[in-house]
Amino acid sequence: MNSTPAVSLAALKTPYYLLDEAAIVANMQIIARLCELSGAKALLALKCFATWGVFDVMEPYLHGTTSSSLNEVRLGYETFGNNSADINNNVNNQDKKETHAYSVAYSADEIDEVLSYADKIIFNSISQLNAFKGQAAAKNIPVGLRLNPKTSNSSFIIADPARPFSRLGEHDKDKIAAVLGDITGVMIHNNCENDSFEAFSASLADIEDRFGDVLAQLEWVSLGGGIHFIAPDYPLEKLADRLKGFSEKYGVQVYLEPGEASIHGAGSLVTTVLDTMHNEKNLAVVDASIEAHMLDLLIYRESAPIASINGEFMAIAPVNKDQVDDAVDNTIIYGRSCLAGDIFGEYALPSNLQVGDKIAFGNAAGYTMVKKNWFNGVNMPAIVIRRLDGSIDIQREFDYQDYKASLS
């Protein structure tokens, strides 16, 4: 790592992702409080965020990581936790961190390696369970199964684990009951950015109604991620009570798998305006790409919020897509890839953008850094970290050799 305390953000070459450790810790404190009040354990979902350069500040608050592949479970094992210097008072962290393994489908040639990193392994289907439970038993690794309740709180069909014909988990209670002897727990992930406690609680009640007798025979239940309890007005205590009651009723250790909640609001993508044009509206092209560097927004047809312009903090939400047509003074900020729709968003800005202006797009940590790609060979943003003491570290820079090496 290139740790240069004297680095100033103003001098940094764009584009770069900027992670703010203080903002991460603020989220961590909410998670730790939820765990303390409820008895639940929280595992960072590496699929959402895996920038291990900031794991030191997350470890004290979380109980471990969960994963969706061999590479992720290995990363969690290698980089997250078991550092006694991190122990703090918020969470009883005397225990070793846990490394949960899950994958939609494991291949036979990777399962032994997965098991060498895992403290628990969760299979997505009964057929995968049957194929690999022997190997897990031989290594004394507790086994779980993903349960699909066929109901969810997700406003996006693409992210809905309970979508019709979903492959994500088993739903047939009789079949699940028949393999209870092989498992000690289940994982249920059926929320997506759900900021309603009532909706969460109702859907948990539905799961209890339908699977309660199964739950009562388990030792642990992971309720996955997707609960937006990080929102300032979320009733955290109610959620904690609900989780505690659930855990006591069935005699299970509850796990949560927060991804987005762990790093919400803690990252931005800092870019520079390379060109401005006019085509009925003001247009600006920045030195990054939504498709390459904030792909999730493109997938979900969303726009990026602006966090600052030229270093001045000004939270500017993108203009609501239904209201944009007549707004000729608006500025559309484009990425520099050739994709016609490489659009960060349309904004009503206080003044027109100029070449050289620096735009920081907000909320650029979750499902963003893990999905970055080399489309068009566009420069890969560096990874820059504002440490808790305010110093700036350039954690990683990328160059032509990285691009070339990714291709052949």
Ligand X SMILES: Cc1ncc(COP(=O)(O)O)c(C=O)c1O
Q: Which residues of the chain form contacts with ligand X (CB under 6 A)? A: 45, 47-48, 189, 192, 224-226, 257-261
Task: Print burial letters for 358-377: b (CB count within 10 Å at least 16), e (below 16).
Answer: bbbbbbbbbbbbbebeebee
Residue with tokens 């609501």: 320
Reduced to 3 states, what is the DSSP secondary structure of residue 140? coil
Nearer to ligand X, 52 or 403 (CB): 52
Whole-number minimum distance, CB 119 to ligand X, in Å? Answer: 16
Nearer to ligand X, 257 or 342 (CB): 257
Whole-number minimum distance, CB 263 to ligand X, in Å? Answer: 9
Reduced to 3 states, what is the DSSP secondary structure of residue 123? strand
Nearer to ligand X, 47 or 386 (CB): 47
Q: What six digits make up the tokens of 160?
A: 């809905």
Alpha helices in 81-163 (DSSP H): 111-117, 126-138
DSSP 318: P
Whole-number minimum distance, CB 191 to ligand X, in Å? Answer: 7
Whole-number minimum distance, CB 257 to ligand X, in Å? Answer: 4
Whole-number minimum distance, CB 193 to ligand X, in Å? Answer: 6
Alpha helices in 39-160 (DSSP H): 55-58, 70-79, 111-117, 126-138
Nearer to ligand X, 81 or 224 (CB): 224
What angle do helix axes 236-250 and 21-38 make, rounded to 10 degrees? 40
Nearer to ligand X, 144 or 259 (CB): 259
Secondary structure (DSSP) of 220-288: EEE--S-B-TTSTT--HHHHHHHHHHHHHHHT-EEEE--SHHHHTTSEEEEEEEEEEEEESEEEEEESS
Residues sharing a CB contact under 8 Å with residue 202, sequence separation 6 or more, in sequence order: none
Whole-number minimum distance, CB 255 to ligand X, in Å? Answer: 10
Whole-number minimum distance, CB 79 to ligand X, in Å? Answer: 18
Nearer to ligand X, 370 or 388 (CB): 370
Nearer to ligand X, 40 or 382 (CB): 40
Whole-number minimum distance, CB 242 to ligand X, in Å? Answer: 17
DSSP 2: B
Distances (CA, A) of 336 to 95, 143, 323: 47, 46, 25
Whole-number minimum distance, CB 285 to ligand X, in Å? Answer: 31
Q: What six digits make up the tokens of 261?
A: 């909640």
CB-based burial of residue 296 (10 Å sphere; 0-12 exposed, 13-18 middle, 19+ buried)? middle
Nearer to ligand X, 76 or 226 (CB): 226
Residues sharing a CB contact under 8 Å with residue 183, sequence separation 6 or more, in sequence order: 129, 143, 144, 145, 218
Nearer to ligand X, 220 or 334 (CB): 220
Is the distance from CB of 247 to CB of 38 less than 8 angstroms? Answer: yes
